[in-house]
Amino acid sequence: MSRATVARPSRISAIWAGGATAISALIAARGVLALGQASTVALCYGFAPSALRAPSGSRTGSGTGLGGYAYGYPALYGMLGAAASHALHAQRHIHLYGTTSEQLGAVAVTQRGYAAKRPGTLGFERPITLADHQSSRMICDPLRLLDCCRDTDGGVCVIVATRERARDLRGAPVRVLGTGTGHNIRNWYDKSVYGHHDDIAPAKARAFAEAGVGLEAVDVAALYDPFTISVVMQLEAYGFCAPGEGGPFVAAGETGPGGQIPTNTSGGPLSGYYATGFTAMVEAILQLRGHGGATQVDGAEVALVSGHGGNGGVQNTWAHATALLGRGL
Amino acid sequence: MSRRVRDPLDYAPDDLDRPFWDGCRRHEFLLQRSGVTGRYHWPAVSDPDSGREAMEWVRVSGRGVIHTFTIVHQAYRADLADRVPYNVVVVELEEGPFFHSNVVDCPNEAIRIGMQVEVVFDDVSDEVTLPRFRPRRPSRPVGP
């Protein structure tokens, strides 16, 4: 007799919100569980962006690849893909605060340092230097090649269950302390869109209020980081440092091992692997289980997870999603 | 002299924004103004402040300042390979809204946040005119 368990789901639904997909799916799962519609929900992710790439050796995208999508009227002007979108934020940040390319490079170098110690990541045993960053070719000024993540073929499954069900499951459980979302379309109309990475404030407020903890409780951060500027601006928006201080904060090593807030400890999408928002969620779970290997944050009890993506009207108008996870039940 | 991106990559006006693109063909820059708040908006919407549809198309100055920009070096489409590097700017229009565009008549390396610009209409085909922006020059005397 086969030992395989035949899956008999009561429902299957698709959720797509770009890099906010993982947390959006978690929020949907919490709703399903809260309504008693199920006791266990599987968040399943799989993607093979390599199928979208241009032939080997070509330096130009296929036009349909993950990196070069067209979106609305800005495409008329050659505004294609996520790097250009994030470059607009980065250029504004440089203008407002004097953030430097070297400070953005510090994000890349720090996170590669984590990935270099984590088997299975794209950056395993391949550390980089700031000089490597500075000599990497320009993609969308001011973002260089090493300011950008790479897409990755892969899959993730996260099981979300009621507390009662989780007690009966194998493996070390992780608690969902709080979740929240915000959307940047509001900031398009009030013209703060480029000063913000996303509309993080409402997502953060809801998640932390539900969790009943403050920022000081967070031991490890897993921030969605398609580009280096994303880490800088989120560290500021979440309050780990003051607005404009994100660059110096990272350059001083505060996101590295032993820093104030170890961030993206598997390398994140930048140097670990890209899984559309699941990268951060997976690393937070591993850290809270104590399975962070050579980059484990000792005694990690609370992890902050973020995601952003899913355009909502104009290029750059992403959703932002926040989750706070805690060790054990 | 910077190279221009000539071809419309994604020109698909619908009923909402057709008046804007028709205005461009007449070399008139239009924005929607809310009949409720008087604020101007782009892209075409119902009034984001009130949710009501009391919006009218109004010819505006076509002037603004560069709010942010990027220089695109990566050719994300094969047909852009001979055009990189090119600029993409976000203009903060005098009337308020942001507008993505290109700056022309200006080297990429001279583009700065805060630069004052004015619209210039680029008739890329018989059917399509794209508004782009050029640095504003000091006013010149009229006449020969």
Residue A1 has pLDDT above 50, yes or no: no
Tell which wins on pLDDT, A121 or B126. Answer: A121
d(CA A248, CA A133): 17
Residue B3: the pLDDT is 37
Q: Give the pLDDT confidence of A121-176 residue by residue, as tens digits.
A: 999 999 999 999 999 999 999 999 999 998 899 999 999 999 999 999 988 999 99
d(CA B122, CA B131): 6
Lookup result for tokens 């018989």: B126
A77 close contact with B: CB closer than 8 A:
yes
Structure tokens at A147: 């300011």
Q: Give the pLDDT confidence of A283-315 residue by residue, as tens digits.
A: 999 999 999 999 999 999 999 999 998 877 677
Q: Are B91 and B101 in contact (CB under 8 A)?
A: yes
Backbone angles phi, psi at A103, to 5 degrees: -70, -40
Q: Give the pLDDT confidence of A219-271 residue by residue, as tens digits.
A: 999 999 999 999 999 999 999 999 999 999 999 999 999 999 999 999 999 99
**Percent of residues, chain B, with pLDDT higher than 90:** 65
d(CA B80, CA B78): 5
What is the rounded average pLDDT of the residues B31-55?
Answer: 89
What is the rounded average pLDDT of the residues B77-97?
Answer: 93
Indicate the residue of B8, B70, B77 with minimum beta-carbon distance to A60: B77
For A92-117, b where at least 16 C-beta lie within 10 A, e where not — what string? bbbbebebebebbbbbbbbbbbbbbb
Which H helix or E strand runs over A200?
helix A200-211
List Cα–Cα distances, A119 to A112, A270, A286, B49, in angstroms.
12, 15, 14, 50
d(CA A38, CA A46): 23
Q: Indicate the DSSP class of residue B62.
A: -
Q: Indicate the DSSP class of residue A119.
A: T
Residue B7: the pLDDT is 53
Residue B1: the pLDDT is 32
Closest-CA distance of chain B to residue A129, Å: 23
Indicate the residue of B11, B85, B113 with minimum beta-carbon distance to A95: B113
d(CA B46, CA B29): 19
Residue B11: the pLDDT is 59
Kindly list the residues from chain A whose CB atom is less than 8 angstroms away from the CB atom of residue B75. 59-61
Structure tokens at B90: 């976000």
What is the rounded average pLDDT of the residues A266-281?
Answer: 95
- In the structure, what pLDDT confidence band is assigned to residue B126 with cuts at 50, 70 and 90? confident
- In the structure, what pLDDT confidence band is assigned to residue A4 with cuts at 50, 70 and 90? low
Which H helix or E strand runs over A29?
helix A21-34
Structure tokens at A320: 């932002």
Residue B2 has pLDDT above 50, yes or no: no
Residue A208: the pLDDT is 98
Residue B64: the pLDDT is 98
Q: Which residue type sits at A121?
A: T
A87 close contact with B: CB closer than 8 A:
yes
A52 close contact with B: CB closer than 8 A:
no
Residue A71 has pLDDT above 80, yes or no: no
Structure tokens at B55: 């919006």
- In the structure, what pLDDT confidence band is assigned to residue A274 with cuts at 50, 70 and 90? very high
Round the average pLDDT of chain B to a whole number and report it: 88
Q: Are B8 and B24 in contact (CB under 8 A)?
A: no
Residue A55: the pLDDT is 54
Lookup result for tokens 């934020």: A89
Q: What angle do CA B103, B108, B113 make, to 5 degrees?
A: 70
Active-site annotation holds for A224? yes
CA B83 to centroid of chain Cα atoms: 19
d(CA A304, CA A203): 12
Residue B14 has pLDDT above 80, yes or no: no
What is the rounded average pLDDT of the residues A8-16?
Answer: 88
Closest-CA distance of chain A to residue B76, Å: 5
What is the rounded average pLDDT of the residues A194-222?
Answer: 96
User: CB B113 to CB A68 under 8 A?
Assistant: no
**Percent of residues, chain B, with pLDDT higher than 70:** 86
For B15-24, b where at least 16 C-beta lie within 10 A, e where not — what string? eebeebbebb
Residue A148: the pLDDT is 97
Searching chain A, which residue's CA lies closest to the CA of residue B100? A74
Q: Which ipTM did the prediction report?
A: 0.92
Residue B4: the pLDDT is 44
Q: Which residue type sits at A92?
A: R
Q: Give the pLDDT confidence of B97-112 residue by residue, as tens digits.
A: 999 999 999 999 999 9
Round the average pLDDT of chain A to a whole number and report it: 92
A&B contacts, CB < 8 Å: 118
d(CA A128, CA A146): 9
d(CA A309, CA A215): 23
Q: Indicate the DSSP class of residue A260.
A: S
Q: Which residue type sits at B4?
A: R
Tell which wins on pLDDT, A255 or A9. Answer: A255
Q: Assess whether the previous peptide bond of A142 is cis (omega < 30° from 0).
A: yes
Structure tokens at A211: 């969790």
Residue A205, classed as helix, strand or coil, is helix
Q: Are A49 and B103 in contact (CB under 8 A)?
A: no
Q: Are A230 and A223 in contact (CB under 8 A)?
A: yes
